[in-house]
Amino acid sequence: MYSLQLIVLSAIPLAMSASPQLLARQSTTSITVNTEKTYQTMDGFGFSEAFQRANLIVSLPADKQKSVIDLLFNTTTGAGFTILRNGIGSSPDSSSDHMNTIEPKSPGSPSGTPNYVWDGKDSGQLWVSQQAVKYGVKTFYANAWSAPGYMKTNNNENNGGYLCGVSGQTCSSGDWKQAFANYLVQYIQYYQAAGVSITHLGFLNEPDYSASYASMQSSGTQAADFIKVLSPTLKAANLTDVGITCCDAEGWSTQVSMTQQIKSAGAESLLSAITSHSYTSGPSGPISTSRKVWQTEYGDLNGAWTTAWHGSGGAGEGLTWANNIYNAIVNANCSAYLYWVATQGGSTNEKLIQIDSSNNVAVSKRLWAFANWSRFVRPGAVRVQTQGGSLKTSAFKNVDGTLAVQVINTGSSAASVSIALQGFNGTAVAGWITDNTHDLSSTTAQISSTGTVTGSVPGYAMVSFVVSGS
């Protein structure tokens, strides 16, 4: 074994042999990136601060507040997230983790004049949104977990129930579809007046799950009934830039069948994106739709808090999340990937950043796994083809002309990579390593006169190569 290592070492250029990473046996992987073969366009990466999580940041002392906001949105010192998913409240109050509604009192009937109430806070979410705007975030996803209770079959914002008036669900109080659409428009207008342009609107969250908290059930067919009311209502309010999403199902396979029902009902073209969570089943492949697909919520809800990048391969580790994101984008055609919440107290991996009751802030490597995607794959980037080798590779052409190539090595041995570029004349390259011990060390990436990129990817690491050129 020892002599074998010597032979391998002798093949390594002197400048690189200084790295202890390279003492391990290396194989060379040849990868081809073809920028002429294109796939989906990316919208970005994000998280939610619903259910009063935003207030954890709002309540921090100024210096810590700034550092948490930087961790989330700064493209040089943080994750550079580009999508914020806000919860549209349905609760009559803000006690516990309730998100309060803008219409706490029933107008008496669906055609009654609504009495909207705006507190200028929206459970802390407006403030976080306004910070995001300052960092250049342009994608805001407003998502209702439920309509207010009086618009529903069970007269309760909790415990499931349906929106009165969707197929098969009649109520003695009448059909509330138009009133709910008006209500969602009003919410968007409050944000607009506060300097935040909502770009995406969802009216369901896990409609396949009747939760003890805010929840509203729906099939794809029933969702289509409402989409057909919501779409013209947005247009009439001149909110033509707001795209409707559906349905944030609890799992991928439910979302696949709900999407099929929406198509059968003729409402697919009224949508901007198909949205799904990954709890009951994860992204198993592309969803059959002409719309963009977003993975809008997933998290390690029960695992004990960890800040590890790679250890036992646990559900909360950074490398696990680098892989989850890879799978959704490369194998399931996703244009966006969102974690559940950014901040929370408690001792699970439900969040990316832990803020305890003494305002101590701890950052997980999950956040940095997102950062390794989000900072380099910017909104508008188009995924392009990668081929060759057994490593997990992906590549994106950014709007600014750079080409970002990700290589994830899930094995224990380091690998040398040689990346040939088709349709792209690379002139310079930068490489960034992420693993147990590296905090974004720049790695020894080179580009030859013929435009081939070479570098090394240690075991259990993710390396991003950013190539500039034409």
Ligand X SMILES: *[C@@H]1O[C@H](CO)[C@@H](O)[C@H](O)[C@H]1NC(C)=O
Report the interface residues with ligand X, using CB under 6 A. Answer: 40, 70, 74, 76-77, 134-135, 237-238, 286, 290, 292, 309, 318, 333, 335, 365, 368, 371-372, 375, 423-425, 432, 434, 439-440, 470
Identity of the residue, 96 or 238, whose beta carbon is nearer to ligand X in the bound complex: 238
Closest separation between CB of residue 52 and ligand X, Å? 25
How many DSSP H helices and E strands does the chain contain? 9, 22
Backbone dihedral region for residue 454 (phi beyond 0: left; psi -120 to 50: alpha; all else: beta): beta
Complex with ligand X: residue 85 or 397, whichever CB lies closer = 397
Using the Cα atoms of residue 217, residue 223, residue 225 and residue 229 in order, give the sign of their dihedral. positive
Peptide bond before residue 247 is cis, with ω within 30 degrees of 0: yes
Of 164 and 270, the one with the shorter C-beta distance to ligand X is 270
What stretches of 347-426 show up as alpha helix (H) in DSSP? 365-374
Q: How far is the CB of 36 from ligand X (least distance, A)?
A: 9
Min dist CB 70 to ligand X, Å, is 6
CB 428 to ligand X: min, Å: 15
> Least distance to ligand X from the beta carbon of 418, Å?
19
Q: Which residues of 367-383 are buried (b: 16+ CB within 10 A; e: fewer)?
A: bbbbbbbbbbbbbebeb
Other C-beta atoms closer than 10 Å to the C-beta of 130 total: 13
Work out how close the CB of 128 gets to ligand X at its nearest, in angstroms, rounded to a whole number. Answer: 14
- CB-wise, 90 or 324, nearer to ligand X? 324
Identity of the residue numbered 324:
N
| 303 within 8 A of 312, measured Cβ to Cβ | no
Q: Minimum distance from CB of 269 to ligand X (Å)?
A: 13
CB of 277 or CB of 383, closer to ligand X: 383
Least Å distance between CB 405 and ligand X?
A: 14
Q: How near is the Cβ of 153 to ligand X at its closest, in Å?
A: 31
Measured CA angle at 300 (ends 91, 464), to 5 deg: 120
Distance separating alpha carbons of residues 290 and 10, to the nearest angstrom: 52
DSSP string, 122-180: TTTHHHHHHHHHHTT--EEEEEES---GGGBTTSSSBS---BTTSTT---TT---HHHH
If the CB atoms of residues 211 and 237 are measured against ligand X, the closer one turns out to be 237
Only one residue has tokens 């250029």, namely: 13
What spatial distance separates the first Cα and last Cα of the chain, rounded to whole Å? Answer: 44
Taking the complex as a whole, how short is the minimal distance between the CB of residue 419 and ligand X, in angstroms? 16
Name the minimum Å distance from CB 135 to ligand X: 5
Indicate the residue whose CB is closest to ligand X. Answer: 371
Q: Are the C-beta atoms of residues 198 and 244 closer than 8 Å to each other?
A: no
> What per-residue string of b and e applies to 89-118 under the rule 16 or more CB within 10 Å gives b?
bbbeebeeebbbbbbbebeeebeeeeebee
Check the CA dihedral 329-333-335-341 and report its sign.
Answer: negative
The strand pairing partners of 468, in sequence order, are 428
Distance separating alpha carbons of residues 194 and 377, to the nearest angstrom: 29
Sign of CA dihedral 299, 304, 310, 312: negative
Q: How far is the CB of 302 from ligand X (least distance, A)?
A: 22
Q: Which is nearer to ligand X, 326 or 432 (CB)?
A: 432
For ligand X, the closer of residues 104 and 423 by Cβ is 423
Closer Cβ to ligand X, 38 or 416, answer by number: 38
**Is the Cβ of residue 276 or residue 335 nearer to ligand X in the bound state?**
335
**Paired residues of 45 in beta bridges:** 337
Nearer to ligand X, 51 or 373 (CB): 373
Tell me how far apart the alpha carbons of residues 277 and 339 are, in angstroms, rounded to a whole number: 10
Closer residue to ligand X (CB): 80 or 165:
80
Nearest-angstrom CA–CA distance, 114 and 177: 14
